[in-house]
Amino acid sequence: VDPVAALRRIGFLLEREHASTYRVKAYRAAALTIAPLDDDQLAHRVRTRTLTDLPGLGPKTAAVITEAVQGRVPTYLAELEAAVAPLVEGGEQLRSALRGDLHTHSDWSDGGSPIEEMAVTAVELGHEYMALTDHSPRLTVANGLTAGRLRRQLDVVRQLAERLGTFRLVPGIEVDILEDGTLDQEPELLDELGVVVASVHSKLRMDRSAMTRRMLRAISDPHTDVLGHCTGRLLAPRVERSPRRRQGSSAGRNTAETGGRPQSEFDAPAVFGACAERGVAVEINCRPERQDPPDDLLALALETGCLFSIDTDAHAPGQLDWQPYGCARAEAAGVPAERVINAWPVDDLLAWTRDHTHRP
Ligand SMILES: [Zn+2]
Ligand SMILES: [Zn+2]
């Protein structure tokens, strides 16, 4: 039993079950600490009970490592594995059609993990590709990337991509739709990216006609590929299903503080009509506290002929496994797989982001 793999798997399973990144951090930190040690060094630490002398290792992580080194599946990991169940009913067909995720965050903006941890987890989930879409400069609360930082990130992504074999790490951005509808990043830099998700994050309550103009302008920008969480709503925290879920639940981090947020008002037929006309995909955001667009708007977008992108908006590796939440809703609404851009092969996807007319 590989102790590093055991620690990473515990982190993944906790996050999948909505534990906070903070709570999971100890397991990831422990994995990083022991990764450089060879088998003999680890075995010696276990024999002499000196694992906890290492930085960041406590009794819980040391117990996991000890059991793994002794050739047993760690008790805590076995408990978590035994509790693994589908997150939601339905959506299995669409989920199996998905090949990647086009909306994810790393610790470069407000995510909790390094790019590599996100990418490797996407590989383990069976994805063929993942777009990294950290926030843009004006979203300072989320440590949005300036043009300079995004350029540095592009270098990091290119280097990492070389080590990931056939898996494609696609450089992207979740760019803010500013109040006037322009996008919050240099156009030349947006040109270099594989995928641009454009989202409204500020002034969500502006009046209906102004919000409609704002969104239409963003959709008409040729850089925009995906319209992110279009209503911006946040649902109030749900009643948790089990005590374990209750402990570290952070899925509704924002809603826990605010008690939810109503959807913003806009002329939905006009907005979805523009998306359909421009070939911009409407995101089906999988986050349980978002479930955006709501059912009525999802039905309208489908009827209007829009493309869709079923994305996790993951801020932590375990959240990359949240696609079933969106797939269940999409399948219930009757969204066919061929209208879902992240069910397309990566080459078709990237040909489409260039001109929005390509279809597989
Ligand atoms: Zn967003
Ligand atoms: Zn996001």
| Cα–Cα distance for residue pair 161/339, rounded to 1 Å | 27
pLDDT of residue 253: 43
The pLDDT value recorded for residue 266 is 98
Which stretches does DSSP call E strand in 228-320? 281-285, 307-311
Residue 236 is predicted with a pLDDT of 80
CA distance 276 to 219: 10
Q: Looking at the CA of 172, name the nearest ligand.
A: 2
Q: What is the pLDDT of residue 238?
A: 56
Ligand positioned closest to the Cα atom of 231:
1
Q: What's the number of CA atoms in the CB half-sphere (13 Å) around residue 268?
A: 19
Residues in the 5 Å CB sphere of ion ligand 2: 174, 313
Distance from the CA of 359 to the center of ligand 1, in angstroms? 26
Hey, how many other C-beta atoms are within 10 angstroms of the C-beta on 192? 12
294 within 8 A of 268, measured Cβ to Cβ? no
> Which ligand ends up closest to the CA of 105?
2
CA of 80 to the centre of ligand 1 (A): 30
Helical H segments across 73-179, by residue range: 75-82, 92-97, 115-124, 147-163
What's this model's pTM, rounded to 2 decimal places? Answer: 0.92
CA distance 112 to 21: 6
Each residue's pLDDT tens digit, 168-212: 999 999 999 999 999 999 999 999 999 999 999 999 999 999 999
| Nearest-ligand number for the alpha carbon of 139 | 1
Q: Which ligand is nearest to the CA of 311?
A: 2
CA–chain centroid gap for 305, Å, is 25
142 alpha carbon to ligand 2 midpoint, in Å? 10
Average pLDDT, the chain: 93
Q: Where are the beta strands (DSSP E) in 124-248?
A: 129-132, 168-176, 195-199, 226-227
CA of 334 to the centre of ligand 2 (A): 25
**Mean pLDDT of residues grouped by 10 in the chain (360 residues)?**
96 92 89 95 97 95 98 98 95 98 97 95 97 97 97 97 94 98 98 98 97 98 98 77 41 51 97 98 97 98 98 97 98 98 98 95
Distance CA(72)–CA(65), nearest Å, equals 10
Question: What does the DSSP 8-state code read for residue 130?
Answer: E
Phi and psi torsions of 65, nearest 5°: -65, -45
Q: Report pLDDT digits (tens) over 117-139.
A: 999 999 999 999 999 999 999 99
The 10s digit of each residue's pLDDT in 236-256 is 875 444 444 433 344 434 444
Distance, CA 57 to ligand 2 centroid (Å)? 31
The CA–CA distances, whole Å, from 181 to 92, 203, 227, 300, 349 equal: 36, 12, 12, 22, 25
Measured in angstroms, how far is the CA atom of residue 54 from the centroid of ligand 1?
38
Ligand 1 centroid distance, CA of 230 (Å) = 9
Say if CB 27 and CB 57 are below 8 A apart: no
- Sign of dihedral through CA atoms 143, 148, 152, 153? positive
Please give the share of the chain, as a percent, with pLDDT higher than 90.
Answer: 91
Distance of CA 40 from the midpoint of ligand 1 (Å) = 46
Q: Which ligand sits nearest to residue 200's alpha carbon?
A: 1
CA of 277 to the centre of ligand 1 (A): 23
The type of residue at 206 is M
- 355 Cα–ligand 2 center, Å: 23
Query: How far is Cα 306 from Cα 278, in angstroms, rounded to an integer?
Result: 9
Half-sphere exposure of 200 (CA within 13 A, CB side): 27
